[in-house]
Amino acid sequence: MLGDDPSRTLRLRTLATALAAAMFGGSRGADTLPGMTAELFPPDRLARAQVATAAAGLDALLVTPGADLRYLTGYDALPLERLTCLVLPASGPATLVVPTLERPRAVESPAGRLGIEVIGWGETEDPFALSAGRLRDALGGGTVAAVGVADRMWAAHALRFADSLPGVRQRAAGTVLRELRMRKTPAEIQALRDAAAIIDAVHEQIQTWSMVGRREDEVGRDIADAILSGGNSAVNFVIVGSGPNGASPHHDTGPRVIEAGDAIVFDIGGTTPEGYCSDITRTYVVGHAPEGFAQMYAVLQAAQDASCAAVEPGVSCEDVDRAARDVITDAGFGEYFIHRTGHGIGLEEHEEPYIVAGNAEAVEPGFAFSIEPGIYLPGRYGARIEDIVVCTEDGVERLNHVDRGLVTLAG
């Protein structure tokens, strides 16, 4: 699976090298990938965000650590009580305000190559007042009426900003940045492809393991190890839902001992050193399928295929959801499909767009999201099939390629 495309193999090797550098070189993965990071975090992104900020009627974005900051600057900052904040005015120079003790990390990160001034603040200074002052300076002393604060900014920080910028309206920066982040660049799509290849390989390992007599959480720990040793820098989640536990979509992997005749939902994901997420679900049966399961699974697979096939530029997110839901409802399982069909993915494992009834937004080339219908019969079993897909110029590309048919594990 991994070896059939030499360029992909090479990219994976690059990732592995980066991981090794991250582990042994004492610095983080993204900062050790100059070529790839330059592509992933292009310098024009800040300017495009400024245009979008002005168009939204905001004077600035205040972006604290999280996916938005990494998206804009490449800086994978630590989310701490000490303030780190990108002050991005709608026009004029951007400033990255960081604790002085973290300034070296910030300057070394891709942010240090974007021409942003990186200002350190000392332990006795007020970084909120400092940021507010930089913002007013950048805007030429004009009045500040409204700012966008990062969706993941801590409430404690947002409230301090409210004090330092009295009378200034705060809005969610996500309303501006979603327009950029939803439209993945070719480099981002490649990063998602690489992430998918790593997690696909983990699922192919799982298929070779014996399950009977093992606890869900023991298997879960092995999966977490495989997610890391495959080239990820973080395990995002591992769901092992065996037997009746599979009927709880976000089951907490626990002490239940796996038996022959169980169906098991494996939903797993990680983050690559570049920061991009993977997310895949497959449902396997152990030894033999429980009563009625194969028929239900066939419906689910048809639904997942129908939903993927519905993806093309211009189709609405809710129509992609409906394509899966109609198949499941027509087969009589509608009341057992209890969640939306999917979610966007990128630097976050769940981001916009959401593939859900009521979301009339049109899918565009570059949108990346999951297609993950499920059917859950309480007290009996559940099943989900999940792939990450990308809308292309004329259709869809699936990023995950693990067998979607009903796979029976040996035991």
Nearer to Zn ion, 299 or 385 (CB): 385
**Cβ 325 to Zn ion shortest distance, Å:** 16
> Do the bridges between strand 374-377 and strand 396-398 make them parallel or antiparallel, or are there none, so unpaired?
unpaired
**Cβ 342 to Zn ion shortest distance, Å:** 7
Strand partners, 89: 60
Nearer to Zn ion, 151 or 279 (CB): 279
Q: Is the distance from CB of 304 to CB of 352 less than 8 angstroms?
A: no
Nearer to Zn ion, 36 or 189 (CB): 189
**Cβ 250 to Zn ion shortest distance, Å:** 6
**Cβ 388 to Zn ion shortest distance, Å:** 8
- Lookup result for tokens 């989900």: 384
Nearer to Zn ion, 12 or 265 (CB): 265
Tokens representing 213?
């007599």
Peptide bond connecting 186 to the previous residue in cis, omega within 30 degrees of 0:
no
List Cα–Cα distances, 309 to 61, 70, 166, 367, 396, in angstroms.
38, 32, 51, 15, 7
- Whole-angstrom Cα distance, residue 247 to residue 244? 6
- Whole-angstrom Cα distance, residue 209 to residue 325? 33
Crossing angle of the two packed helices 293-309 and 317-330, in degrees rounded to 10:
150
**Cβ 17 to Zn ion shortest distance, Å:** 28
Nearer to Zn ion, 65 or 382 (CB): 382
**Cβ 269 to Zn ion shortest distance, Å:** 6
Nearer to Zn ion, 370 or 400 (CB): 370
- Whole-angstrom Cα distance, residue 237 to residue 297? 24
Instruction: Name the site residues for Zn ion (rule: CB under 5 A).
Output: 267, 279, 281, 370, 386
- Whole-angstrom Cα distance, residue 389 to residue 398? 4
